[in-house]
Amino acid sequence: MRLPLLGLLLGCGFALAEPASAAEPDVIRFATINANYRVALEEIIRRYEARNPNLKVELSVIGQEFATWIRTRVAAGGDLVPDIYNGNYTNGYDRQGRWVALDPYLEAENPYTGRRWLDGIDGQLIERYRVDGQAFILPIDYIDIAVFYNRDLFKKLGLQEPKTWEEWLALCERVAQAGYVPIAIGGDAQAYWAGEMGWLVRLLGDAYLRNYAPLLMSRPGDWDYEEARNGGYSYQPRDLYSDMLVVINGERELQAILHGQLDFRGPKFRRVYERLNELAQFFQPGFMGADSRSATQLFYTQQAAMSLLHSGSITGIVHDFAKMKAEERFDFANFWFPPIADDPLVEGPFRGVGGGGMVLAVMQKNDPAHERNVMDFLQFLTTPESGRLLVELTLADGQSLTGPLLIEDVELPGDLAEKFAVFKGHGYEKVNYRGLRDEQESVQEWVVSAQEYMGGRLSLDGFLDRYDELMHRAAERLIRRDGIDMDSTTRDPPPVVHRQKNLSNPFENGALMLAIIMALFAVFATVQIACSKGPGKYRTRTAYLLLLPTVFLLVAFNYFPALSGLYHAFTEWESGRDPVFNGLDNFRRLFADNMLYVGFGNMLVLLLAGLVKATAVPFLAAELILYLSGDRTRYFFRTAFLLPMVVPALVGVLIWRLIYNPDMGLLNQSLQSLGLGGLTANWLGDPSLALGAIIGMGLPWIGAFGLLIYLAGLLGIPADIYDAYKIESTNTARRIWHLDIPLVMGQTRLLIILTFIGSVQDFQTVLIMTRGGPGMATYVPALRMYNEAFVYGHFGYGAAIGLLLFVLVLAITVVNMKIFKEEAS
C-alpha cells in the first residue's frame, strides 16, 4: 500500500507540469471597459463566429478598476493576457514593444469591405495616436467633454451662453445668488485622474502650455524626426490643429524636465492652478467628497445649473429623462468652454481633451497566425454593418453611446447628431501634465498633492514645489526603467518586457513548487504509515489519503502565493519583467517611504478605534440582550442585531458611501431636516473629517461576529458560578466587572487578534470610500502595498511591504497571546 500511496501523491504533483493541449478553435480574447456596448458586441461576435467557425471570441467586460485589471493580467502572462483591450489604460506599452503595430494591416484590404482597411475608418485620430511613426491604437468612437446646462433655468434667470471665461465666472455668480449650485462636479480621487477635475486641468494646461511644443518637438537629426510632420511646423497658438501631428521627442521632454526648462513652479503652471481654484468657488459645497455620479444627480434634480459631462452623457440623459415624470424633466443643452481673454500668459482658446472613446490595442504575443486572426476580427468589427449594430443595439438596450462612431458610413440619428455637434472642431490638446505620461506612481502622487491643494491643506507654493519634485523623480524612474540613453539622435531599443517564467525556480513555477511539497508530504505520509502498527496503520493510511485534497489546495492557493511573495520581496520585479535579486534594496526604500509612515499613523488610529468597536460594543450589546426579561424578547433583539450579517460587506461599504455624500447623503439631509444645517459637513472630502468618517462606518458598531462570540461565552458560564457570586454581591455592574469580563477573556483575546490582523490587512474599505484621500488623510499601509504592486507595477516592492505587514501581524499576535497567557495564569 505504501508504494501506491506514494505514486498517487507524486502523480498529483507532477501531473500539473504537463503542458495543456492547444485550444481549438483559436480563441481571441477581447477585454473592454465599455459595458455600454456589451449587447451590441455580443451580437457582432455571434455573427463573426457564424462566418468563421474555426475562431472563437471571448468577451470580458470589466466595469471597474480596468487599468489595475489589465496590468495584473500582463504581469501574470500567458492566456490571462487579452489579445484586444482598451489601450488608453496602459499608455506607454507602445514604446515598450508590448503592442502590435497596425500599419501593415491598415494598408491591406479589409476582406469584409473589399477596400483598404484604413479607408473605412476615420484616419485623423489614428494619425494623432502614432508613436515613432507607427500606429498602435484603433479608435472606434470619439469622446470629449463640454459644459451641459439647464436651458429652462437659464431662461428663468435670463442667462445666455458665455462667450469668455470672465463671462462664465460672472454667470456663475448670478446663479449662486439665485440660490442654485452653479457647477456640479466630481472631486474624489477618481475624478482627478479620469473625471471632471482631471479634464479641467488638461483644458487649462493646454491653453497655457502649448508654447512648449517647439521646445519638445523632434528636430532634424533626432531619430524620430519626420519631415512630413515636423518640417513645416510653425508655432500658431490660435490654429487649433497646427500641432496635432507634430512628433514630440520623449528624450527632449525628459531633458526639459530634469534641466528645469519645464519648470513646474513657473508662472504658467501657477496660473493653471490659480484658474482652477478660481472656478472651484462655484462648485457645489463638499465637491471634494463627491463622485461623478452624485454630481450628475445634482444636475438631474435641478439643484445645479451646469455640470461638466462627456459626450456619452447625452444618450444617458435622454434615456434617464424618459423614465422621469414630465414635471421633473427639463430642456438641456451644452456649450464649449469659453476662452480666457484677459491673461497675457494664456496661449490660445481651449482645445479638446478627448479623442478615441473605445480605443483598442492588440497585445504582442509573437504568434503570427493568431495575430492574423485577431486582426481579422478587428476588421470585421470596423465594418459599416458592425458599426450600425453598435449604434442601433446600444440605443435599443437603453445604454449610452460614448460619442460619434469613427467608422465610415455610420451616422447617428438626427436629434442626437445635433447634441453631439458641440464636441467637434476644437482641435486636440498637445502639451499637458498631471503625472508624467501614464507613469502611475507620478499620477497618484499628483492626485494626492492636487487634492491637498484644492482642499486647503497645502499652499499653492507648497503644491508647486512638491509637483516639481515628483516630476523629477518620475523622469528619473522612466529613464532607469526603460533604459533611456537620453540621446535624442539614437533610438533606444525597447525594454525586454515579455517575461518568461523561470520554470526551474519553484518560487515562480507553481507546478514545481506544488510537486516538491506534495512529494515531501508523500514521503512524510509513507514514513508515518510505516511506523504505525496494528489497527493504527489502517487509520493512519486513511487519514493521510483524506488529507491529500486539503493539503493540495492549501499548497496551491495559500502556501505557494505566500512563499512566492516572500521570495519576490528580495527582488526588483517590475510589471511584465523578470525579477532580479536585489537583496535588501526594497527594505531600504521601505524605511525611507514617507507615505508608508503616514499610512501607519492612520492605521494606528483605525486599529485603536477598531479594538473598541470589536470588543467593548459587542460585549455591552450581549450583556444587554441577556439582561432582558423573556426569551422571546431576547430572541428578537438577538436576531435583529445579527440580521445585518447577511448583507455583503461590499454592499455595506457602498451604502455608507451614499450616507456620507455631502449633497444627497442621508446624514446631511437628516441634519438639515432637524434644523442642524450648521453641522452638515463634507464627511469624506474634508481631510480633517475623512478618517473619522471611516471609523464611524457601521454605527452603532454591534458587529454580528463579535456579538455571537460574546453571547456564546456568556451563555457558557455555569449558573452555579453566578449563584455563588450572588452571595458576595447582587450589583450587576460589579458582577460584569469581576465575573463576566474575566470569564470571557478568551473570546476577547480572539477578537483582539482578529482585529489586529484585519486592521493591518484591510484596504478595501479605504479604497472604495476615498482611495486613501483626500490627499493622504485616509492612506493605510495595505493600500500602499496594493498601489505599488497592482497600480504602479512594482511587484517586488509591493511584496516587501506585504512581508513587513506579515511580520507585524505575527509579532502582534505572539505578543498578544503571551500577555493574555500570563494574565490567565
Q: Are 206 and 351 in contact (CB under 8 A)?
A: yes
The single-letter DSSP state of residue 221 is T
Q: What is the 3-state secondary structure (H, E, C) of 607-651?
A: HHHHHHHHHHHHHHHHHHHHHCCCHHHHHHHHHHHHHHHHCCHHH
Which pLDDT score is estimated for 21? 46
pLDDT > 60? residue 666:
yes
- CA dist 8 and 548 (Å) reads 10
For the chain, how are helix, strand and coil distributed in percent, rounded to 5? 60, 10, 35
Q: Is residue 151 classed as helix, strand or coil in its secondary structure?
A: helix
pLDDT > 80? residue 200:
yes
What residues are paired with 779 via a beta bridge?
A: none
Report the CATH fold assignment for 145-350+434-450.
D-Maltodextrin-Binding Protein; domain 2 (3.40.190)
pLDDT > 80? residue 819:
no
Which pLDDT score is estimated for 337? 97
For 59, phi then psi, to 5°, come to: -100, 125
pLDDT single digits (tens) 759-778: 998 999 999 999 898 888 99
Which pLDDT score is estimated for 8? 42
Q: What angle do CA 389, 394, 397 make, to 5 degrees?
A: 125
CA 43 distance to own-chain centroid? 29
Which pLDDT score is estimated for 25? 87
Q: What is the average per-residue pLDDT within 96-103? A: 91
pLDDT single digits (tens) 226-250: 998 999 899 999 899 999 999 999 9
Alpha helices per DSSP H over 229-367: 250-258, 267-280, 292-300, 313-322
Percent over 70 (pLDDT), the chain: 95
- CA dist 295 and 190 (Å) reads 13
- CA dist 772 and 137 (Å) reads 32
User: β-pairing, 109-110 with 115-116?
Assistant: antiparallel
For residue 84, what pLDDT band results from cuts at 50, 70 and 90? very high
- CA dist 33 and 48 (Å) reads 21
pLDDT > 90? residue 54:
yes
Domain borders along the chain are 33-142+356-423, 145-350+434-450, 590-824
Q: If you average pLDDT over each of 94-98, 105-109, 541-545, 633-637, which comes out highest?
A: 105-109
- CA dist 470 and 264 (Å) reads 10
For residue 19, what pLDDT band results from cuts at 50, 70 and 90? very low
Which pLDDT score is estimated for 559? 86
Half-sphere exposure of 353 (CA within 13 A, CB side): 27
Q: Is residue 381 classed as helix, strand or coil in its secondary structure?
A: helix
Q: What is the average per-residue pLDDT within 578-588? A: 90
Q: Is residue 182 classed as helix, strand or coil in its secondary structure?
A: strand
Residue 529's identity, in one-letter code, is: I
Q: 23: alpha, beta or left, given left = phi > 0 and alpha = psi -120 to 50?
A: beta
Which pLDDT score is estimated for 644? 79
First CA to last CA across the chain, in angstroms?
47
pLDDT > 70? residue 3:
no
What residues are paired with 143 via a beta bridge?
A: 355
For residue 561, what pLDDT band results from cuts at 50, 70 and 90? confident
Which pLDDT score is estimated for 506? 86
Task: Share the mean pLDDT of the chain.
Answer: 89
For 360, phi then psi, to 5°, come to: -105, 140
- CA dist 323 and 589 (Å) reads 55
- CA dist 140 and 360 (Å) reads 8
Q: What is the 3-state secondary structure (H, E, C) of 267-301?
A: HHHHHHHHHHHHHHCCECCCHHHCCHHHHHHHHHC
Which pLDDT score is estimated for 728? 78
Q: What is the largest CA-CA distance in the chain?
A: 102
Which pLDDT score is estimated for 784? 94
How long a stretch of residues is the chain?
A: 825
Q: What is the average per-residue pLDDT within 374-378? A: 97
- CA dist 756 and 821 (Å) reads 17
pLDDT > 90? residue 181:
yes
Q: Are 441 and 481 in contact (CB under 8 A)?
A: no
Q: What is the 3-state secondary structure (H, E, C) of 709-726?
A: HHHHHHHCCCHHHHHHHH
pLDDT single digits (tens) 128-164: 888 878 899 999 998 999 999 999 999 999 999 999 9
Of 103 and 793, which is predicted with more confidence? 103
Sequence-separated (6 or more) residues with CB below 8 Å from residue 667: 659, 660, 680, 683
Which pLDDT score is estimated for 822? 60
Angstrom distances, CA of residue 714 to CA of 471, 631, 707, 710: 59, 16, 10, 6
Q: Do domains 33-142+356-423 and 145-350+434-450 have the same CATH topology?
A: yes
Contacts 24+ apart (CB under 8 A), 691-697: 691/602, 691/605, 691/606, 691/777, 691/778, 693/660, 693/769, 694/606, 694/765, 694/766, 694/769, 694/770, 694/778, 695/605, 695/606, 695/609, 695/613, 697/652, 697/653, 697/656, 697/765, 697/769
**Three cell numbers at 481?**
526603467
- CA dist 541 and 543 (Å) reads 5
Which pLDDT score is estimated for 362? 96
Which pLDDT score is estimated for 158? 96
Q: Between 535-554 and 2-14, two packed helices, what is the crossing angle to 10 degrees? A: 0
The predicted model scores a pTM of 0.80
Instruction: Output the CATH code of domain 590-824.
Output: 1.10.3720.10
Torsion angle defined by CA atoms of residues 778, 782, 785 and 790, in that order, rounded to the nearest 10 degrees: -90
Which pLDDT score is estimated for 123? 84
| Nearest CA-CA partner of 293 in 309, 273, 275 | 309
**Three cell numbers at 32?**
473592454
- CA dist 367 and 140 (Å) reads 25
pLDDT single digits (tens) 585-609: 999 999 999 999 999 999 999 999 9
Block residue for cell numbers 472630502: 685
Which pLDDT score is estimated for 15? 43
Asked, as a colleague might, if the bond just before 162 is cis with ω within 30 of 0, I would say no
| Nearest CA-CA partner of 787 in 586, 595, 572 | 595
Of 555 and 466, which is predicted with more confidence? 466
State which CATH number among 3.40.190.10, 3.90.1580.10, 3.30.750.24, 2.70.98.10 fits the domain covering 33-142+356-423: 3.40.190.10
Q: If you average pLDDT over each of 434-443, 444-453, 673-682, which comes out highest?
A: 444-453
Which pLDDT score is estimated for 570? 94
Scored b (16 or more CB within 10 A) or e, 504-526 reads eebbbbbbbbbbebbbebbeebb
Half-sphere exposure of 324 (CA within 13 A, CB side): 15
